[in-house]
Structure 1
């Protein structure tokens, strides 16, 4: 038996600008999802923890801590609340990254139900850490990804509804996502940043597009306040005036609003 993985990678090129994923049947007969990386491949189980492990009999670190928290609260109804230390948060973070890798594969593979499941799971993770982490720095390290995961969850829920022409149900899902991102901004007193929050801009523009399909003759009352439309106008003007450095910056900002990337960080649970 060879340990060389070259044969696995032959004919499956790495694409640095996109997610390259596929599903296979593992030696155990169960479906696996694989993510192509520049130096190899990640293989993940479709069910449970992506690495297939159990943690002390629980499906995941999150499930284990939730179980411990319930037991603690039952035994100490008026006592000190259940608290996560920094080492606990580190374990949960590493686990959250596994689910991130898997749900971006599901999104690329158009396995929307599974993408929605895993994004919802990471949103539960953020909520649990927010409620139980001992230190604020640990809470923020998780919660900074809440807008991005909220957006991805919304896309995973609403996209199949759009494909079925269920416009009102899709808009309802998008509205829930918009409220989720706005709640995040309110939690941190950052409501004035709403026009620069790429995830929120993306969801609001998507909602307008669907609303036009339902009522194509309706007036777009917020059209003048669309930051993407304004950026496009500014970009056209910069190009016309040959301000190419400004144009490059505007193009980057436009791309960020139209295609919000995951937050930058070192191994955070996006």
Structure 2
């Protein structure tokens, strides 16, 4: 078997209407996401870590650190004293970026179940760093992304609900997320004008309108 991906690219580019992101079945029988980029193709696993690795035998670094936290609690009866150093946080941030690229791809192909899963997973990573990072800058490093990830997670939930005919559940999820994001902004001392200009809130309100129109239509 040739290592040259040229024929795959040529076949993909034959169709002028082909999307830049697609889902395939790999030789291992598992689903993969492929993204057509200028210089070739990027490929990610659909489940587990996007790069297919299992650090420390776990599904992800996040799961590894959560396991360490559980072991610490069992040994000491408390989480007091459990810390993530800057290297730990850097690794978690790098891993979260992998999941970011994947959940964006899932949105493109309307795989909202996996998009909801990956966004929820990144929020758990943010929570872990915020609570246990040794350094304040590491603890807060991902907080600026929290409203965005909440928004994306909620859109995925809402689309899942709407696709199953649960329009009330979809609207409720969006309204709850709007309140959560506003609370986040106020807790972090954003002024009301800045809150009113939030892209995340605007997108959620537009999504709610879209779902209401689908419901009423």
Common topology (TM > 0.5): yes
Q: Please name the residue that 1:207 is paired with.
A: 208
CA shift, 1:207, in A, is 3.0
Stretches of structure 1 lacking an aligned partner (at least 5 in a row): 14-18, 217-270
Q: Which moved more, 1:70-79 or 1:35-44?
A: 70-79
- Taking the aligned partners of 2:198 and 2:62, their CA distance within structure 1 comes to 28
- Taking the aligned partners of 1:41 and 1:213, their CA distance within structure 2 comes to 36
Q: Please name the residue that 1:110 is paired with.
A: 110
Structure-1-length-normalised TM-score: 0.71
- Taking the aligned partners of 2:2 and 2:206, their CA distance within structure 1 comes to 51
CA shift, 1:176, in A, is 2.3
Q: Does the residue aligned with 2:12 lie in a helix, a strand or coil?
A: coil
Answer yes or no: is 1:51 the counterpart of 2:51: yes
Q: Please name the residue that 1:34 is paired with.
A: 34
- Taking the aligned partners of 1:66 and 1:153, their CA distance within structure 2 comes to 21
Structure 1 runs of 4+ aligned residues shifted over 4 Å read 208-216
Count of residue pairs brought into register by the alignment: 211
Superposed CA RMSD? 2.3
Answer yes or no: is 1:61 the counterpart of 2:61: yes
Q: Name the CA shift for 1:116/1:213 in 2 (closer, same or farther; >3 Å).
A: closer
Q: Name the CA shift for 1:78/1:59 in 2 (closer, same or farther; >3 Å).
A: closer
CA shift, 1:76, in A, is 2.6
Please state which structure has a larger fraction of its residues in helix.
Answer: 2
Answer yes or no: is 1:98 the counterpart of 2:93: no
Q: Name the CA shift for 1:72/1:191 in 2 (closer, same or farther; >3 Å).
A: farther
Q: Please name the residue that 2:197 is paired with.
A: 196
Q: Does the residue aligned with 1:12 lie in a helix, a strand or coil?
A: helix
CA shift, 1:140, in A, is 2.6
Q: Which moved more, 1:53-62 or 1:67-76?
A: 67-76
Deviations 1:196-239 (A, max 9, x none): 111012213433555577789xxxxxxxxxxxxxxxxxxxxxxx
1:10-29 counterparts in 2 under 5 A? 10-13=10-13, 20-29=20-29
- Taking the aligned partners of 1:187 and 1:74, their CA distance within structure 2 comes to 33
Which structure: larger Rg?
1
Stretches of structure 2 lacking an aligned partner (at least 5 in a row): 14-18
